[in-house]
Structure 1
């Protein structure tokens, strides 16, 4: 193999685009010697709330903590059920168990990989306290198909937007951004996210003053006034350095998301040119959605063999996710078995994430698809 390995995501190329802006912002924080919950965090919270079109945004330590804070703010606890997807990152479900509640899985759709609205509605019981849909890989779920029922019954809607910052959906004739439909939205700024920082970071958006105040208290040990604690919270704060970095990056987000969409369109064209429709299914962008392609995940035949072939050709592809959450050993106490979530289980055997990032070059995509064609056509 003579060609350089093509990674699934190359942070170094993105760094070069914002190097000087970022170094200036970091130096400013270092000169201030203010590192925790300072002016950069406050400014970024306002910037992001304005971008999203939401009332409130509260920084925290990670996307995982954002989910945990959301459930705590909604008073989810023992005896409560929370409906969510089995096809997602582990934290979506682990946070439910962390507050003592019971995860209830609703299967996903085969084209979008998002939670099936009909499955959500079918699993609502008197114990249902909240629903956590995940806007997976950068595309919003069809929230409008179950949100009215949730509001009728006083069930909280927590949007997991860890992979979907900037994604939009037309709901009731209006363009809504991920994280602004439910009572609470949860975001991650892990470095490989569309808007990533240089470590861990997260954000919670809230639709009311009361929820926002609760989240702000919970992120600092449940304290409203220093050293006086109304409840037991977390130590989960977005630090000044990460906020400063994110403030530099946020104005570029729309450009980077559009570049990702261009990469996705090039893949679609290349698949057609190489007659791959028989072997693969590209991701579906639903009507009314603006997919921001955090990941470009196809369904394909002979997935594991294809992945190995790509690796031999110097192309990095990844599997998100290899085991459905209802079958994870740590959740065996919930009583689910193989076959309970057939769509999710099928996806775990077929999905493959191809390289995607804003700076991915056309010739690199051609290399990826040519290697795929070589595998399927035997050329």
Structure 2
């Protein structure tokens, strides 16, 4: 569900990439000259940089964030007969990846303040089939890592991070990508760290797990013999030009995230009282991939924003357990279901200026 774009675009990827146009053109020419479009030197360089940024030991570039989750599960041996706990409030890709790996997604509720997975709900869902918990760092904020890690340790489960919306986020000082057994990142163009097309990565400090992910993602090839296929794998690799673009953007990720935090601070100061931003956990350093507020008058708000030429969105209007693709889950998940009727995403991007926030808030005052 999206509104139109105009005076204040929801996200202006043209402007974001224009600031790096000269450097991107140089990078593209370098790839053209060496001709290694897949697995070129740019990939290894970015993997090294991003692993260090996440304070982790290994990074494996893959085709997209959904593949990253599936590859983690497969590399851990999680599949048929296993349950994986997933928050109902997430993009459908989280659950899709669980099913693609052969496991069953078990949907649980979220906290009413942050709308992130509720550790108590996750604990209540654990059974003898449960193999993993996926903590989704949604909207740019990390989940309650200590609570979920403790639960996973007590029950002998893998704690996996879905960090597709949390590049640069931290919890108690620890970055996304360093908290779980492994983390899945997406570099879809609209992300805080976005490529020029699809891309993703698996980040982990378990070197053996990283090696297995890399093998699976490259047709199961042996590391030192490309004609030997040790596993039944797949094709999920990061292109050289995408890696080059990501290296350029990684250098400015922290400053871009700081600008997002400043814009969100201004929203909190200026929004009408009937629009309440989703809470930030005191232990979390939010990177505000999305500026999500709650309102009882979303339809009217969307109409007012569209009339003012302001882009907007809803992330997400239908919880995963209510999607037709996952029919059969009859259990009510009340917090996620209520939030889905109230949440509204406002424009937020490093390219917005303070006046854009004023225009957005002014458009909402009459609602």
> For this structure pair, what is the TM-score category when the shorter chain's length is used for normalisation?
over 0.9
1:186 matched to 2:188: no
Give the Cα–Cα distance (whole angstroms) in 1 for the partners of residues 153 and 196 of structure 2: 38
The residue number in structure 2 matching 1:24 is 26
Runs of 4+ residues over 4 Å off in structure 1:
none
The residue number in structure 2 matching 1:38 is 40
> 1:84-123 to 2 correspondence within 5 Å?
84-123=86-125
The residue number in structure 2 matching 1:203 is 201
Give the Cα–Cα distance (whole angstroms) in 2 for the partners of residues 243 and 111 of structure 1: 36
How does the TM-score come out when normalised to structure 2? 0.96
Deviation, 1:14, is 1.5
The residue number in structure 2 matching 1:158 is 160
The residue number in structure 2 matching 1:270 is 270
The residue number in structure 1 matching 2:234 is 234
Give the Cα–Cα distance (whole angstroms) in 1 for the partners of residues 341 and 103 of structure 2: 29
Q: What SS does structure 2 have at the residue aligned with 1:365?
A: helix
Contact 1:41 1:59 in 2 (8 A): yes
Of residues 316, 329, 338, the one that matches 1:336 is: 329
The residue number in structure 2 matching 1:315 is 310
Deviation, 1:219, is 0.5
The residue number in structure 1 matching 2:138 is 136
The residue number in structure 2 matching 1:71 is 73
The residue number in structure 1 matching 2:345 is 353
The residue number in structure 1 matching 2:354 is 362
Cα distance per residue 1:198-245 (max 9 Å; x no partner): 000000012212101100100011121312222211100001010011
Give the Cα–Cα distance (whole angstroms) in 2 for the partners of residues 152 and 116 of structure 1: 17
1:324 matched to 2:290: no
What runs of 5+ residues in structure 1 fail to find an aligned partner?
none
Give the Cα–Cα distance (whole angstroms) in 2 for the partners of residues 321 and 251 of structure 1: 30
Q: What SS does structure 1 have at the residue aligned with 2:310?
A: coil
Cα distance per residue 1:103-135 (max 9 Å; x no partner): 111101121110001111111111111111100
Q: How many residues align?
A: 361
Give the Cα–Cα distance (whole angstroms) in 2 for the partners of residues 16 and 293 of structure 1: 22
The residue number in structure 2 matching 1:296 is 291
Contact 2:62 2:237 in 1 (8 A): yes
RMSD of the alignment, in Å? Answer: 1.2
Cα distance per residue 1:243-280 (max 9 Å; x no partner): 01111111000000000001101111112xxxx22x12
Of residues 218, 221, 235, the one that matches 2:219 is: 221
Cα distance per residue 1:276-298 (max 9 Å; x no partner): 22x12112111111000000000
1:57 matched to 2:50: no
The residue number in structure 2 matching 1:14 is 16
Deviation, 1:4, is 4.2
What runs of 5+ residues in structure 2 fail to find an aligned partner?
none
Deviation, 1:345, is 0.5
